[in-house]
Amino acid sequence: MSELKSVTNDGHTLAPMADFVKQANLNLEQVKALRLKAETNYTDFWGELALEHIDWHKPFSQILDETNAPFYTWFADGQLNVSYNCLDRQVLTQPHKTAIIFESDSGIVNTISYKELLVQVCKFANGLKQLGVKKGDRVVIYMPHSIEGVVAMQACARIGAIHSVVFAGFSAKALADRIADTEACYLITADSSNRGGKKLPLKTVVDEALLILATKSRIKNIIVHKRSDEYCYCEEGRDIWWHDLINNQPDTCEPEIIDSEHPLFILYTSGSTGAPKGVQHSSAGYLLGTILSMRWVFDIKPNDIFWCTADVGWITGHSYVCYGPLAVGATQIIFEGTPTYPDAGRFWKIIERHRVSIFYTAPTALRALIKIDASLPEQFDLSSLRLLGSVGEPINPEAWRWYYEVIGKKRCPIVDTWWQTETGSIMLSPIPGVTPMKPGSCCSPIPGIMADIMDESGNPVERNNSGSLIIKRPFPSQMRTIWNNPQRYLKTYFPKEVGNGEYYVVGDSAHLDNDGYFWILGRMDDVINVSGHRLGTMEIESALVAHPRIAEAAVVSKPHEIKGEAIVAFIVCKGSLRPIGAEAKELAEELRLWIAKEIGPIAKPDEIRFGDNLPKTRSGKIMRRLLRSIAREEEITQDVSTLENPAILEQLKQKEY
């Protein structure tokens, strides 16, 4: 990174490239017209877009119902099928167009057309129906990032089942928690997954999860996709091989016609209370958000090769792998491996090999590749690229510049996108060909999204000030509730303290510069963003304290040049003496393995510090702001007079493990 010029928020902007402007899906006048329409007739704005971009079985007569706000409903009396909108309507016009180019971890490439994909989805959907899966049933999917992962999700959508995808890197305990909360009766997995040259035994993890649940499990059947020749335990009567399930199934399956507000999926995201939140999304509203962002933000064209590097286990993979690209008839890449295996040129090799034109990835991946060799991409032909995207966390200006100059050769606009699991689709982003870009800024809300920044009193902040990011009006793709916990939905996202509960409070702090550009500063709650993955500090702390040797734990974050944020754990052990030396080192490694088992490898602390106690007020409250300062090696300027044990701060500054 030494060769890169550091760019700060100095007001410098980059105008849209003239060549890109000429071919862009939207021009400046069209964006102005869209914004004006949204401001003057908000409901008609969304209603007209829904009629234009979605194929309805029964058109809606009501656009937005705010009667039970903030439990909003959109297009409530309309009926459709999401899978039909992704597959059938493409087969009617372009059956032989490539839908997915799949590249395995080992480099083997398979392609599938829209017609072939529809057949696979129909056969698998028929298999699910044969097992007894019905509309409204919950199906947990614990799959590799693969064509079959998409098939499983689309098949659930086709028959009206509600899928809940769990990232295939999560532990048995994390999987068990999500199975229990959804009350799922069916589970789809694979015998193994290949990633970074390593084989991960997914079915073994599934079996462990069901052992944890024991009699609480409602799982009737597990469908297992066979990916290796190694032995895989199968329980007779419960476990079914994927290939056996689809054998002799019909090639067609009539799509289940569902109401617009029927839940499409539940996806768990970390929360500050320790228990993950089951974010529930609707069908039509969510689909509309993914379609519009594909057209407006990614400027998708019929000949594009689109590549979103996110796994289907995360919301980015839901919206910009499984649903958005297919709903607009795009050709996309699915890659199951990592950016550094077998070497750090893997991303660039894939772009060169498949002539990728739109590339959407996370800043953490970019920073890791920059650190290994910032000049390596110059060895590859990246001339097919025409648009770049960033997702998962704010991209620092230095990495933005490298992305723009080295990868895009100063000819590809960068859409630095901000959104969440809860919003379903992109909320803030430059509109390519229209919006002047600022390195590190997500620029402004897309048309129809009424975002603002408010201070602690709930008043809009003036230019060049920071505050809490909020969205003032409901929008179709937003979450509908937290599964089985509507009160948590209200308390978390529509607090009475801000706008009397009328605004969606996203939980991020943001800065509004003099030009009205938004800059995302980070989480306002106790959630850590590691490599674009949100992890609740309470969930990690709870797992640590579950270890038999641990009495107390406090988890905070500190900046990390590659992952965005690193996890720092402050630990108090049971007994009178804190471990030191070799004993402490051994326990630290044991705790990292423990966290990997309880939550997943992504949650392993980067640093573990042992203390006789934690800094607490006399009322017993842990002063996490002091721990953040210690973790970040900042000078403690806060008042510590209220601490019961101020001397503990010096002890916790010792960084050994």
Secondary structure of 508-563 as H, E, C letters = EEEEECCCCCEEEEEECCCEEEECCEEEEHHHHHHHHHCCCCEEEEEEEEEEECCC
What backbone phi and psi angles, to 5 degrees, belong to 22? -60, -30
| b/e sequence 554-571, b meaning 16+ C-beta within 10 Å | bbbbbeeebbbbbbbbbb
For 351-378, the pLDDT digits (tens) are 999 999 999 999 888 988 988 889 999 9
What pLDDT, on a 0 to 100 scale, did the predictor assign at position 524?
A: 75
The yes-or-no verdict on residue 187 having pLDDT over 50 is yes
The CATH code belonging to domain 527-652 is 3.30.300.30
Q: Please report where in the chains the tokens 């098939």 appear, as a residue.
A: 151
**Residue type at position 33:** A
Measure the CA–CA gap between 352 and 350, rounded to whole angstroms.
5
The predicted model gives 641-650 an average pLDDT of: 74
Separation of first and last alpha carbons in the chain: 27
Q: What number of other Cβ atoms are within 10 A of residue 378's Cβ?
A: 12
412 pLDDT more than 50: yes
Cα(481)–Cα(485) distance, integer angstroms: 7
For residue 641, the model assigns a pLDDT of: 55
365: nearest Cα among 508, 561, 521: 561
* Residue 7 scores a pLDDT above 60: no
Pick from 231, 224, 247: which is nearest to 143 by CA?
A: 224
On the question of pLDDT at 96 being above 60, the answer is: yes
| Per-residue CA distances from 595 to 171, 195, 562, 598, 631 (Å) | 9, 20, 21, 5, 19
Q: Are strands 198-200 and 193-195 parallel, antiparallel or unpaired?
A: antiparallel
Q: How confident is the model at residue 654, as a pLDDT?
A: 77
Domain ranges of the chain: 41-337, 462-523, 527-652
E strands present in 221-295: 221-225, 239-241, 258-259, 265-269, 277-281
**62 against 620, higher pLDDT:** 62
Q: What is the pLDDT of residue 153?
A: 98
pLDDT computed for residue 345 by the predictor: 97
Strand blocks (E) in 154-242: 162-165, 186-190, 193-195, 198-200, 221-225, 239-241
Whose tokens are 């709903």? That residue is 327
Predicted local confidence at residue 10, as pLDDT: 43
Across the range 569-596, mean pLDDT stands at 90
My answer on whether omega of the bond before 605 falls inside 30° of 0, hence cis, is no
Segment 128-152 shows an average pLDDT of 98
- Kindly report the number of other CB atoms within 10 A of residue 338's CB atom: 17
Q: What is the pLDDT of residues 378-410, one digit of tens each?
A: 999 999 999 999 998 888 888 899 999 999 999
* Cβ contacts of 618 within 8 Å, gap of 6 or more: 642, 643, 644
* Average pLDDT value for residue range 566-583: 88
**Percent above pLDDT 90 for the chain:** 73
Q: Do 112 and 102 form a contact (C-beta atoms < 8 A)? A: yes
pLDDT at 6: 27
**Total residue length of the chain:** 657
* For the chain, percent of residues with pLDDT exceeding 70: 95
pLDDT above 90: residue 316: yes
The three-point CA angle 73-54-95 to 5° equals 145
- Given a contact cutoff of 8 angstroms between Cβ atoms, the answer to whether 438 and 9 are in contact is yes
Is residue 528 a contact partner of residue 555, using CB atoms and an 8 Å limit?
Answer: yes
pLDDT of the residue at 3: 29
Amino acid at 425: S
Task: Using the predicted structure, report yes or no on whether residue 51 has a pLDDT greater than 80.
Answer: yes
Which pLDDT belongs to residue 543? 87
**Other Cβ atoms closer than 10 A to 457:** 8
Specify the pLDDT at position 275. Answer: 73
User: Domain 462-523 belongs to what architecture?
Assistant: Roll (2.30)
**Whole-number Å distance between alpha carbons of 201 and 655:** 35
Mean pLDDT, rounded, of the chain: 92
pLDDT band at 617 (very low <50, low <70, confident <90, very high): low
**Predicted confidence (pLDDT) at residue 230 exceeds the cutoff of 60:** yes
Q: What is the pLDDT of residues 483-533, one digit of tens each?
A: 999 999 999 999 987 777 889 999 888 889 999 999 988 777 677 888 877
CB 73 within 8 A of CB 254: no
Q: Binning pLDDT at 50, 70 and 90, where does residue 4 land?
A: very low
CATH class (in words) of the domain with range 41-337: alpha beta
Backbone torsions φ then ψ of 198, nearest 5 degrees? -115, 145
CA distances from 61 to 51, 78, 170 (A): 11, 7, 42
| DSSP-based three-state secondary structure for 357 | coil
Q: Which of 124-128, 156-160, 421-425, 621-625 has the lowest mean pLDDT?
A: 621-625
Report the pLDDT averaged over residues 568-574: 91
